[in-house]
Amino acid sequence: MDKISMPAAPGAVNRRSVLKGGAALSLGAMMAPGLAAPALAQSRTVHLGCSLPLTGPYEKVSRIYKDAYEFWSETVGHKMSIGGQDYDVRWTIYDDENSAARTAQLTERLITTDNVDLIVGAYGTDTVLAQGAIARKHGRITIQAGAASQRVDEEIGGHTTFTLVGLARNYGRLAIEKLGTQEPKPRNIAIVTFDDPVYLEMAAGIEDMAQSLGIEVALKEVLPMQTQDLRPTVLKLKRLGEVDIVYNCGWDIICIKLVQEFAALDFTPKAFVGGHLTTNPVVKETLGRNLDYVMGVTFWLPQMAHSDDHFASAQEFADAFKAAKGYAPTYHAAMAYTVPYIYAHVLRDATGDTPFDPAALRAKIAALDGLPTMWGPISFNEKGRIDFPGLPVLQWQGNDPQLTVIHPDALATGTLQYPMAEFRSRG
Amino acid sequence: MLDIFFFGFLRGAVFALAAFGFSLVLGVLGIVNLAHGVFIVLGASVTYALYSAGTPIVLAALAAAATTGLLGMLIQRLFIDRVFNMHPLMVLVQTFGVAIIVSELANKAFGTSERLLRLDVPGLPYVEIGSVFVPTYEIVVFVVSLVSAGLLVAVLNYTSFGRAVRACRDSRQSAELVGINVPRVFLLTMGICGAWAGLAGALILGLRPTAPHMHFMWTIEAFLVVIIGGLGSMGGALVGGFLYGVLNFAAYYYWPSTAPAVIFGALIVMLMLRPAGLFGLGTVVRK
């Protein structure tokens, strides 16, 4: 390659002038540190980290978490303002394969090798507990949005972990409350749940609520986690005779299989609550018209009146998220997006040389009092759990089923269709 | 009780279909193929991908079966064939390793989410048998299972390839002495195993959620079916599938929270009482 030399024009920058200028600038910086600080801050980085079950049964939902973390970064221009200085945002997210042991190992690595400044939550009770145990060992804190079990509160809540998701035992409270107002009032309920602490807690909450309303628990079916075939369960439901409510505590695929088996065995309860994941796109894609009348509960919907520093409404957030990621955000997206948002909020006015000091962070997060976020107003109780009144109730309605919020009244966009139309009559 | 038996019987058809290849390989090659479940979940994944891309379900299922059949031959040629004469444990380790590698690749290629298709027979989604409504699709799976079992039995009993297979099964050395190309027989046997398992995976998509990470569960279920029916027997695999289907369905109906323990407990008793299974052909595993 030819070397091209260009003569220096009068007044043009040459090596000598650069050196002179550099020396003068250095001297100036030493004499006026306040002026030099913004230039030095350009290279500062805030490093966030976590592990998620990016492969395995929770692949889809953990992708939403990862996308939401990324979406927050994109929203803030990959910058976080800490104590008036801009920090570049950097993420390290590992795949923990839904293994608690692996999560513990990866959290150790995040803290000791990657030197992350802030830890965001894993997904799933066991993995969140494992992450919290390691964080606690190192005196660090986490904000998590992936575990609803009460065990989180008991073992790591408040001192180590702050939790954005409501308690599992409250998930179905409003759905049962709504069904309890129907005329005639449902006489009985069958609960399908799984042998895992969070699903058992969910079932216990539903059972308590039903009994408090005088609705008899006709069946509480606890299935192993690896159950694939729901026909024995639905056959048992059918043999019970008339069942007014069936409540699925399981995940989206279980909701799909239950509805398919209802249709296959010509069994139609008066109401079916498909759980907290009926808004996942796969449910509508697979069930189509059979989703009509299926109820669900959800933490979050775009029509809710939430706002934060970046979005004036939840709908605006939903539209921006869809434009960025190519799909409509589920409640997981709003919840995960809020985790780094909270960190950014409490660090904004940080002072001193150690803005990530866990004790100071813990105190600031615990002191939040109704911080407006995309996830709703944020306050934590003494166990580090968000105060959450209950999950709004929705129902899919129509031949091309559309989502309708039916309870509480403040959020309702329609009324409950009850009882359910027979599956066999739907063609 | 009748409907538990009936639905268990229907479910058993797909267990039998999933186990035919496992039984054949165990009978002919004398190996426990721990990669068997991979054929099933890969068959399901390929079918799902093709069907989602607009391929008719029958073509998608056949393409999936062809893919897993080829994979079976590839595994035989590249791996099993090379360690076949060594200690049987080597084959176990090798097929286990292959299972892990292929399932990880499938995870990357197809994703790890559970997949399920709504597969109805157009115009006739249900049939009424007595007082029981049955999805027509499940009748189709049942018939496919019976026909494929019959086909395998016919191939094994009435074709020159079948005679070669039986000769290899009975005595590999004698088969070589009479001029049978034993490596080729083994290669085709693994191909058939893969194809049948892939077809089973395709059909399972309409019945149960399936994902690549479930491969080992399917290997175990195929193993259980063969243990019930008897090692190395196609008829045994069919009957074993039906019995396992009924046992599985009844366990999840009567004792759902402890169903896996009930199923394995029953099989341990079965092994104690009849170690060769119902229709076993004697000891077939290489020593």
Burial annotation A65-83 (CB, 10 A radius, 16+ → b, else e): bbbbbbbbbebbeeebebe
* Subunit contact B112:A233, Cβ cutoff 8 A: no
Please tell me the distance from the alpha carbon of residue B167 to that of residue B151, in angstroms, as a whole number: 19
* Subunit contact A57:B112, Cβ cutoff 8 A: yes
Lowest-confidence pick of B57-71, B105-119, B251-265: B105-119
Q: How do residues A154-205 score in pLDDT, each as one tens digit?
A: 999 999 999 999 889 999 999 999 999 999 999 999 999 999 888 999 999 9
* Subunit contact A235:B256, Cβ cutoff 8 A: no
Q: How far is CA B178 from CA B168, B171, B174, B286, in A?
A: 11, 11, 6, 21
Q: How do residues B137-159 score in pLDDT, each as one tens digit?
A: 999 999 998 998 889 889 988 99
Question: What is the mean predicted confidence (pLDDT) over B53-57?
Answer: 94
Please tell me the distance from the alpha carbon of residue B250 to that of residue B248, in angstroms, as a whole number: 6
Q: How far is CA A421 from CA A293, A313, A380, A413, in A?
A: 7, 36, 42, 21
* Residues in chain B closer than 8 A to A253 (CB atoms): 114, 116, 209
| Fold of the A45-166+304-379 domain | Rossmann fold (3.40.50)
Q: What is the pLDDT of residue A257?
A: 93
Q: How do residues A286-312 score in pLDDT, each as one tens digit?
A: 898 999 999 999 989 888 889 999 999
Q: How do residues B26-51 score in pLDDT, each as one tens digit?
A: 888 888 899 999 999 999 999 999 99
Q: How do residues B185-207 score in pLDDT, each as one tens digit?
A: 999 999 999 999 999 999 999 88
Q: How far is CA A184 from CA A181, A244, A295, A369, in A?
A: 8, 10, 18, 42
**Strand stretches in B170-273, DSSP E:** none
* Subunit contact A229:B252, Cβ cutoff 8 A: yes
Q: What is the pLDDT of residue B282?
A: 56
Best residue in A52, A55, A97 to probe B by mutation, most B CBs within 10 Å? A55
Residue B4 located in a structural domain: no
* Subunit contact A223:B249, Cβ cutoff 8 A: no
**Residue type for B240, please?**
G
Strand-strand pairing, A142-144 and A79-82: unpaired
**Angstroms from A228 CA to nearest CA on chain B:** 6
Residue B110 located in a structural domain: yes
* Residues in chain B closer than 8 A to A56 (CB atoms): 112, 213
A408 is written with which tokens? Answer: 């509480």
The 3-state DSSP class for residue A118 equals strand
B6 is written with which tokens? Answer: 């009936």
Residue B276 located in a structural domain: no
Residue B137 located in a structural domain: yes
**Angstroms from B52 CA to nearest CA on chain A:** 11
Question: What is the mean predicted confidence (pLDDT) over B222-236?
Answer: 86
Please tell me the distance from the alpha carbon of residue A231 to that of residue B245, in angstroms, as a whole number: 12
> Chain B residue with minimal CA distance to A222?
B257
* Subunit contact A226:B217, Cβ cutoff 8 A: yes
* Residues in chain A closer than 8 A to B253 (CB atoms): 232, 235-236
- Is residue A45 pLDDT above 50, yes or no? yes
Q: How do residues A387-402 score in pLDDT, each as one tens digit?
A: 877 789 999 999 999 9
What is the band of A348 on the pLDDT scale with cuts at 50, 70, 90? very high
% residues pLDDT > 70 (chain A): 90
**Strand stretches in A21-84, DSSP E:** 45-52, 79-82
Please tell me the distance from the alpha carbon of residue A276 to that of residue A411, in angstroms, as a whole number: 17
> Hey, do A45-166+304-379 and A170-298+392-426 end up sharing a CATH topology, with the first three levels equal?
yes
Domain covering A170-298+392-426 in this structure, CATH number: 3.40.50.2300
Enumerate residues 6+ apart whose C-beta is below 8 A from A34: none
Q: What is the pLDDT of residue A10?
A: 38
Q: What is the pLDDT of residue B1?
A: 75
C-alpha triplet A258, B4, B247: angle, nearest 5°: 100
Helix ranges restricted to H, A278-424: 281-287, 314-325, 331-347, 358-366
**Chain A positions with Cβ closer than 8 Å to B:** 55-57, 59-60, 195, 221-224, 226-229, 231-233, 235-236, 253, 256-257, 260, 264-266, 282, 286-288, 424
**Angstroms from B87 CA to nearest CA on chain A:** 33
**Domain encompassing residue B164:** 21-213
Residue B96 located in a structural domain: yes
Cis peptide upstream of residue A340 (ω within 30 degrees of 0): no
Whether A104 contacts A51, CB under 8 Å: no
The domain limits of chain A are 45-166+304-379, 170-298+392-426
- Is residue B285 pLDDT above 60, yes or no? no
Total domains, chain B: 1
Tokens 């692996």 correspond to A102
Tokens 């323990």 correspond to B261
Q: How do residues B206-225 score in pLDDT, each as one tens digit?
A: 888 888 989 999 999 999 99
> Chain A residue with minimal CA distance to B112?
A56
* Subunit contact B116:A57, Cβ cutoff 8 A: no
- Is residue A36 pLDDT above 70, yes or no? no
* Subunit contact A266:B133, Cβ cutoff 8 A: yes
What is the band of B235 on the pLDDT scale with cuts at 50, 70, 90? confident
Q: What is the pLDDT of residue A8?
A: 37
Whether B99 contacts B215, CB under 8 Å: yes
Q: How do residues A244-288 score in pLDDT, each as one tens digit?
A: 999 999 998 899 999 999 988 889 999 999 999 898 888 998 898
Residue B144 located in a structural domain: yes
Largest CA distance in chain B: 58
* Residues in chain B closer than 8 A to A235 (CB atoms): 3-4, 7, 253
CB pairs under 8 A between A and B: 78
DSSP A273-321: E--TTTTSHHHHHHHGGGGTT-EEE-S--TTS----SS-SSHHHHHHHH
* Subunit contact A227:B249, Cβ cutoff 8 A: no
